[in-house]
Structure formats: C-alpha cells, structure tokens
Amino acid sequence: MFDIESLVRPNIRNLVPYSSARDEFHGEAKVFLDANENSLGSPLLTWRNRYPDPHQSALKARISEVKGVAAEHIFLGNGSDEAIDILYRAFCEPGLHNVVVCPPTYGMYEVSAAINGVAVRKVPLTAGFGLDMEALEDAVDADTRIVWLCSPNNPTGNSLDRTDVETVLNNFEGLVVVDEAYINFSRQRSLLTELTEYPNLVVVQTLSKAWGLASLRIGMAFASAAVIEVMNRIKPPYNINGASQELALQALEEVGQVNDMIRILVSERERLADALHAHPAVLHVFPSDANFLLVRVPHARALYGHFLDHGIVVRDRSSQPGCADCLRITVGTPAENEALLKALDAWKV
C-alpha cells in the first residue's frame, strides 16, 4: 500500500515553506509595493522589473489543457533536472535510503543521488534494453524510495514494455518515476493516462525536446496532488522566470506546428536509420522511439573524432553498459543529416 506520509522525509513534512510577496497577495491591484522591486522599471522591458508568478498559474492552466491533466497534478521545474533533484530532497534521507536505476539510462538520476547523499542500486537493462524484472525485484528493499525508469530510454531510444512498468507500479510501495522526455516521438502512449490508477506514479516530461524550447529550461512533473504539494513546498519561490513563462505560453498555442515538426523528425529518423543501416561502416542501428539513434560502429571513438573534424558533434556512449562502440546521433534537419552521412562516407576504418 502506497503511503506518502511514510515516504516524506520528516524535515520536509514539518517544513514551513518560504512565503514570497506574491504568495501572500491574491486579486487585482495597480500599485505593487510589496516585493522590493525596482519601481522605475528595467532598461529592457518595463514589466521585467516584476517578479514572476511563483505558481506559474497561467502556464499550468495551458499545460493542463494540452496534456489533459488537472493543474493540481502539475509541477514545473527549472528543467526536468530540478524535478529530479526535488524528488530526492523530498523522499530520500541521505545516508539511509536508496534508489534504483536501470543503466544505460539518463545520467542525472545517479548524479543527483550522489549530490543528495543517496545510495544508488544499479539493475542493468537486458541485452534487448528491457527491464530485468527479477533483478529489479531483488534490488528493492525496505529502504528503497524511488525506482527511476526512462521510456523512451536515453541513450538507447527504445520504449520500455508497458506491462513491465505497470508491474513495477503495482508491486513497489515507493515512487516510480517514469521519465518521458521523448514521449512525443514514441509509438507508445504516455503514462499520464494512468495517474489516477497509481498514486505512486510520477511522470516527468519536458518542453525541451518536441517543443523545441531547450533554452527556456521548463521541465514538468505530473503526479498525485499529494506528491505535487510536497514538491511545491521545497522549490524556490520563483524557479521559472517570467520570460520563460511568457514564451512557453506562446509556444503552447502552436500545437499544430509542433505536431508537424514531430512528423518531420520521425520521418527523418526513419530515413536516417535506413541510410545508416545500409552503410558498410555501420554494424547496427538500434530501434528508436526518440529523436535520436543509437548506432554501433567499429572504433566508435575514432569515428567520433572524424565527425568532429567535419564540424559535426555526436555523443560517444561507448562507456555505458551494453553500449560498447556506440554513438548516439540526434536526428537533425535534412541538411544536417545529409552532412553526417557525407562525412561517414569519407571515413576510413
């Protein structure tokens, strides 16, 4: 039985969160003399001298419409990394609790654990990059607070089996965080539809990938109202700046354009995968539900350097479990993909 009160760290449970000036004000006003802002304005734009909405109410309302999730189930962070960090600080006691990660996967789960003094138990994915359910069960104990799952997974690109993920949700009494940063490029549907079924489920998404807003640093976590309330208790009062909120609101009005971009990128992903698969210098192209491809080649580090010589930057993932001699290649524009293939043609093993 999932019991959030037993999972929250005592110091967080007893925390009285910081109350900003904008937290204490509700309603309409013309004169704001409450937050010690520069009343004369800014050399850039006059409105930027004011602190942003600490609750991101307008942005959450629009995300609620787009995602079909009520605003009280939404947390917004300065990138998904802030949501990851806050989950550690809320639910994991340093030096006592542990979490489970399934490498190869997104590295910030482990980095954030180290920063917060939380032990990490690694359960490598299978040879086919699926969950090792037996090993996962063996790794969990009474002090395990979070299981981190990335689907579609980074750097492998594949989606995890939905039945396996639901099995973990049904049998683990801590939080199961499913990172769906690349879900818009996937053939599988999001687990957002299951939030009401699983009180221990946290779904992490982002505006950085499909929405093309990486520099705005807006990550989203979706969970039960109880989990979101704990996360909001910890976050800094103005963690999403005003410019990012305004620009994200504008972008979220362009759903049709974003869907068109997703279709183009998926089409380019398939075209690039076919071209790489047919290339004599490529050993294997792994199936992908993301906007990148994991590609196995002879002498990956040498090919990485060759691409650099041609002004092309890819990611060498050879050091990751199960990814020997693998490069992770983001799907670029048609012209960028052609440049990569041309550079590959010029490579001599």
Does residue 337 surpass a pLDDT of 90? Answer: yes
* Distance, CA of 86 to CA of 242 (rounded, Å): 21
Residue 20 pLDDT grade (very low, low, confident, very high; cuts 50, 70, 90): confident
Domains, the chain, with CATH or none:
4-19+53-251 (3.40.640.10), 256-345 (3.90.1150.10)
* Distance, CA of 87 to CA of 227 (rounded, Å): 9
3-class SS string, 135-191:
HHHHHCCCCEEEEEEECCCCCCCCCCCHHHHHHHHHHCCCEEEEECCCHHHCCCCCH
| Structure tokens, 243 | 């410019």
| Closest by CA position to 322, among listed 159, 133, 127, 107 | 127
Q: Does 315 or 1 have the greater pLDDT score?
A: 315
Q: What is the DSSP letter of 52?
A: P
Does residue 204 surpass a pLDDT of 70? Answer: yes
Does residue 175 surpass a pLDDT of 90? Answer: yes
Q: What pLDDT digit, counting tens, does each position of 51-91 carry?
A: 899 999 999 999 999 999 999 999 999 999 999 999 999 99
Q: What pLDDT digit, counting tens, does each position of 116-143 carry?
A: 999 999 999 999 999 999 999 999 999 9
Q: How many CA atoms lie within 13 A of 78 on its CB side?
A: 13
By percentage, how much of the chain surpasses pLDDT 70? 97
Buried b (16+ CB within 10 A) or exposed e, 292-315: bbbbbbeebeebbebbeeeebebe
Contact of 58 with 249, CB cutoff 8 Å: yes
DSSP β-ladder status, 326-330 and 292-296: antiparallel
Q: What pLDDT digit, counting tens, does each position of 272-295 carry?
A: 999 999 999 999 999 999 999 999
pLDDT-wise least confident of 31-40, 106-115, 294-303:
31-40
Cβ within 8 Å of residue 270, ≥6 positions away? none
Q: Quick one: CA torsion of 203, 272, 297, 295, rounded to 10 degrees?
A: 10
Specify the pLDDT at position 38. 73
* Distance, CA of 289 to CA of 182 (rounded, Å): 8
Buried b (16+ CB within 10 A) or exposed e, 3-38: ebeebbbeebeeeeeeebebeeeeeeeeeeeeeeee
Specify the pLDDT at position 45. 64
Mean pLDDT of 196-219: 96
Distance from CA of residue 328 to its chain's centroid?
Answer: 17
Does residue 27 surpass a pLDDT of 80? Answer: no
Partners of residue 211 on adjacent β-strands: none
